[in-house]
Amino acid sequence: MSPAPLLCARQVAVGLAGRVFCRDLDLRLMPGQNLAVLGRNGVGKSTLLAVLAGLRPPLAGEVLLAGRTYAESGARASALLRGWLPQGRSEAFSSTVLETALIGRHPHLARWAWESAGDAAIARQALAAVGMADLAQRDVQTLSGGERQRLAIATVLTQAPQLYLLDEPLAHLDLNHQIAVLELFARLTREQGAACVMVLHEPGLAARFCTHALLLFSDGTLTQGACHDVITSEALTRLYGYPLRETGDGRQRWFMPA
C-alpha cells in the first residue's frame, strides 16, 4: 500500500485584502518530497504557506494534514506533525540560544512539564545541524541576522515534525549556510521520510535541491509538478516577467538573465 500524503490541498483558493492569489489548488505532498514555491514579490507565497500551515483559512476548499483538517486534529496534534518557519521573527526578551531552541519541544510536553535532558539533547543536536553548537549559551539579543535565522531553523528541527513549512529559509544567510540548509532539508526528506514546502527565490537552487515545484503567477494561476518539468526558462520568463536562459553542466541547471 502506498503511503498517504502528509499534506493535501483540495480545490483551495487563497486570498488577502480582496485579492485572490491562487484558485483551485490541488496538491498532494508525499513523504520524501521537497516542494519549492516560486514567484514574484507580492504574489501570495507567504499567504499560501500560512494557509497550508493551518494558520489562515482558505477562501475555498480544504487543507488536510495527514488526512485530517487542522480543526479535526487540534493545535497540539497539528504541531506534532507540522513545523512552521515564518518569514519574520523577533526575540523580545533575553534568553540563551539553547533556551530558544527548546521552544520547539513544547508540543511534546504535558501542560505543566519542564524540558527533560532528552529534550535538551535534541535541541543541541539541532543546533549542531545548523552550525551553532558552540553558541548554545549566547544571548539571542547578541546574534547577527544570519545567526538568528539559523536558530529559527534549529528551533523547527527541535520540534521534529514530519512536515516542514518554511517561508524563505535562506533569508539573511551567506552562500555557505544557504547550501548547508538546503542540503539538510533534502537529507531529511530523502533519508527520514519527511516532507518540506519552502518559499525560495533562486530557481537554480530549487531545481538542484527540491523534487517538485509550484510556480505562483501574478494573475492567480499556477503550475506545479516535478522540478525538471516545471522549472524551465520559458516558465520562469513568464513567472518573473524577465527573459531568462538556462545554462548547466549536464548535472545542475542554472537560470541567467538573457
DSSP class per residue in 85-142: E-S-----S--BHHHHHGGGGGGGS-TTPPP-HHHHHHHHHHHHHTT-GGGTTSBGGG
Dihedral sign from CA coordinates of 118, 119, 120, 124: positive
Q: What is the pLDDT along the chain (258 residues), one digit of tens a residue?
A: 567 899 999 999 999 888 999 999 999 999 999 999 999 999 999 999 999 999 999 999 999 999 999 999 999 999 999 999 998 776 667 899 999 999 999 999 988 888 899 999 999 999 999 999 999 999 999 999 999 999 999 999 999 999 999 999 999 999 999 999 999 999 999 999 999 999 999 999 999 999 999 999 999 899 999 999 999 999 999 999 999 999 988 788 999 998
Architecture, CATH, for domain 1-66+162-168+188-258: 3-Layer(aba) Sandwich (3.40)
AA letter at 145: G
Quick one: pLDDT at residue 93? 76
Q: Where are the domains of the chain?
A: 1-66+162-168+188-258
DSSP 8-state secondary structure symbol assigned to residue 203: H
Quick one: pLDDT at residue 118? 94
CA–CA separation, 224 vs 38, rounded Å? 10
* pLDDT tens string 131-167: 999 999 999 999 999 999 999 999 999 999 999 999 9
Burial 134-149 (b: 16+ CB within 10 A, else e): ebbebebeebeeebbb
Q: Scan for cell 511534546, then name that residue.
A: 108
Full-model pTM = 0.95
Quick one: pLDDT at residue 30? 96
Cβ–Cβ < 8 Å for 14, 21? yes
Cβ–Cβ < 8 Å for 198, 166? yes
Q: How far, CA to CA in Å, does 258 sit from each of 216, 228, 241, 245, 251?
A: 21, 20, 12, 5, 21
